[in-house]
């Protein structure tokens, strides 16, 4: 076959590479390109490779063209609903191959940086504390996706990547091959998705136990049903309607604050008069789990994950309080000054000292350290003082100190100090 007949159809997005320099005439697992990078990856059915460009690292998954097109479409459609999903960067079709051939299509996603696979999470000592964080992360992700009308169809531990998010864990979905999007999910569809998740998770936990030479009796087979239980309480918290006496405005405020506290943005608030107008029913439409990250981005332009944003916002509030800023203009100027004189220099220092670490996460870990130090000394400690002690003691409390090969490859990936969106 001539080369011309082997020209791929490549759909990419502005801001991402065009991927034309890759040799699409052969299967991705035969590539010997300089762009290939070795990244840790989980269990998968389809061939997956990682390639590095100036714009960042990308994951390329090869699969039959219809499935590839469907997955690309699903990821694209959910982009405005959630920040907890891999970002689609391209769709490749090899028109010279028949549609049912494995290599006839490929989906390209932005590599989710600083993430670790579930095996790292559920094995080793101390899963107790992490287990609780995992339940929250998993349930939070499923609720957010279901609220957006997204039926996953194959939710499992290995179809999610995990990242530290301040003191909690952030779950990011990566595999949308089996998913479907509806205006709204029925109770039955949600239940079905949870049942699939429970079955997948039980299987994965059984595998982990067997791999570690433990018996099935010792496997954490309840993990999935515990996720479902947490899902159910979060779902009802977010979707229940509340009836209050007309005029009890503070209850409306309380309800909204509670939802914000859970990290969910509130899109619409519907106040419906009931009982002849004596009472009102409050119905709230909940958006994505990005209340604090959105707020931080609006105030300072800093783009981080939800709980990192929550932690960084309290640092900003602490500085505002310290410098007695009260007016709105004063706050806006103060936030910019805090960003350029406090936040950015520290993040830069962290990324110089710890190049392989997510610098925003490390900043949150440092804030935790400073708080403990101040509590112990019963006084405020300056950043100068706290940071030098943190450094001198080998960065106690630093999370996610595992390898991130993306960064070791140096030039191919933007440095952590680049205060840009990290693309998840
Ligand atoms: N965007 C991404 N960022 C980081 N790792 C990824 C990304 N996409 C895929 N991977 C890695 O590749 C593996 C397989 O991806 P997945 O979409 O689940 O493929 P499959 O459909 O074959 O199961 C994942 O477990 C993960 O380790
Ligand atoms: Mg998968």
Collapsed DSSP state (helix, strand, coil) of residue 142: helix
- pLDDT for 421: 34
pLDDT lower than 50: segments of the chain: 403-424
Mutational test site, ligand 1, from 174, 204, 405, max ligand atoms within 8 Å of CB: 174
- Span from the CA of 174 to the centroid of ligand 2 (angstroms): 7
- pLDDT for 297: 94
Give the binding-site residues of ligand 1, using a 6 Å CB cut-off. 41-42, 44-46, 48, 59, 61, 86, 109-112, 117, 158-159, 161, 174-175, 177
- pLDDT for 415: 33
Cα gap 270→285, rounded to integer Å: 8
- pLDDT for 43: 77
Mutational test site, ligand 1, from 108, 160, 161, 162, max ligand atoms within 8 Å of CB: 161
For 280-302, give the DSSP string.
EEEEEEE--S-HHHHHHHHHH--
What tens digit of pLDDT does each residue of 203-238 get?
999 999 888 888 888 888 999 999 999 999 999 999
Which residue's CA is the closest to the ligand 1 atom numbered 14? 44
- pLDDT for 122: 86
- pLDDT for 141: 96
- pLDDT for 13: 95
Answer for the pair 286, 265: CB distance below 8 angstroms, yes or no: yes
Q: What angle do CA 376, 378, 384 make, to 5 degrees?
A: 80
Cα gap 366→166, rounded to integer Å: 10
- Span from the CA of 27 to the centroid of ligand 2 (angstroms): 19
Residues 6+ apart with CB under 8 A from 391: 353
Q: Which ligand lies nearest to the CA atom of residue 154 in the structure? A: 2
Structure tokens at 424: 């998840």
- Span from the CA of 43 to the centroid of ligand 2 (angstroms): 7
Structure tokens at 298: 């609006």
Residue 177 CA, closest ligand 1 atom number: 21
Burial 128-152 (b: 16+ CB within 10 A, else e): eebeebbbbbbbbbbbbbbbbbbbb
Q: Which ligand lies nearest to the CA atom of residue 71 in the structure? A: 1
- pLDDT for 400: 73
On the 0-12 / 13-18 / 19+ scale of CB atoms within 10 A, 192 is middle
Residues 6+ apart with CB under 8 A from 70: 177
- Span from the CA of 51 to the centroid of ligand 2 (angstroms): 19
For 321-353, give the DSSP string.
HHTT--SHHHHHHHHHHHIIIIIHHHHHHHHHH
- In what side-by-side order are the strands of the sheet with 48-53? 9-12, 88-93, 105-110, 56-63, 48-53, 36-37
Find the helix or strand (DSSP H, E) in which 240 lies: none
Residue 109 CA, closest ligand 1 atom number: 1
Cα gap 309→398, rounded to integer Å: 17
């Amino acid at each position: 076959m001539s080369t011309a007949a082997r020209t791929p159809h490549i759909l990419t997005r502005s801001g991402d590479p065009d991927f034309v320099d890759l040799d699409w005439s052969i299967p991705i697992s035969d590539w010997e390109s300089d762009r290939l990078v070795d990244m840790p990856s989980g269990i998968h059915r389809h061939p997956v490779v990682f390639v590095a460009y100036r714009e960042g690292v990308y994951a390329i998954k090869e699969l039959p063209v219809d499935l590839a097109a469907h997955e690309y479409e699903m990821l694209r459609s959910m982009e405005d609903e959630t920040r907890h999903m891999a970002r689609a960067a391209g769709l490749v079709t090899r028109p010279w191959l028949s549609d049912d051939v494995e290599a006839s299509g490929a989906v390209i996603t932005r590599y989710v940086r600083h993430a670790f696979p579930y095996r790292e999470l559920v094995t080793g000592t101390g899963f107790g504390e992490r287990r609780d964080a995992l339940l929250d992360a998993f349930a939070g992700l499923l609720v957010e996706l279901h609220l957006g009308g997204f039926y996953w169809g194959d939710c499992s531990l290995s179809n999610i990547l995990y990242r530290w998010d301040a003191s909690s864990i952030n779950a990011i979905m990566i595999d949308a091959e089996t998913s479907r999007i509806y205006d709204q999910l029925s109770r039955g569809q949600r239940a079905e998705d949870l049942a699939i998740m429970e079955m997948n998770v039980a299987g994965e936990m059984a595998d982990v136990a067997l791999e570690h030479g433990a018996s099935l009796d010792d496997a954490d087979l309840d993990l999935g049903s515990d996720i479902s239980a947490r899902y159910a309480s979060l779902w009802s918290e977010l979707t229940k309607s509340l009836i209050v006496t007309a005029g009890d405005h503070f209850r409306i405020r309380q309800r909204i604050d509670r939802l914000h506290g859970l990290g969910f943005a509130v899109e619409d608030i519907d106040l419906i008069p009931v009982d002849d107008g004596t009472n009102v029913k409050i119905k709230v439409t909940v958006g994505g789990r990005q209340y604090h990250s959105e707020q931080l981005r609006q105030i300072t332009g800093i783009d981080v994950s939800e709980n990192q944003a929550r932690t960084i916002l309290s640092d900003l509030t602490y500085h505002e309080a310290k410098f007695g800023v009260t007016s709105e203009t004063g706050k806006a100027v103060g936030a910019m000054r805090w960003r350029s004189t406090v936040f950015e220099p520290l993040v830069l220092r962290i990324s110089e000292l710890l190049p392989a670490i997510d610098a925003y996460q490390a900043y949150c870990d440092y804030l935790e350290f400073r708080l403990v130090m101040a509590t112990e000394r019963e006084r405020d400690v300056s950043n100068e003082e706290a940071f030098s002690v943190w450094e001198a003691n080998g960065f106690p409390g630093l999370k996610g100190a595992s390898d991130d090969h993306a960064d070791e490859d140096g030039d191919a990936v933007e440095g952590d100090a680049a205060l840009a969106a990290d693309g998840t």
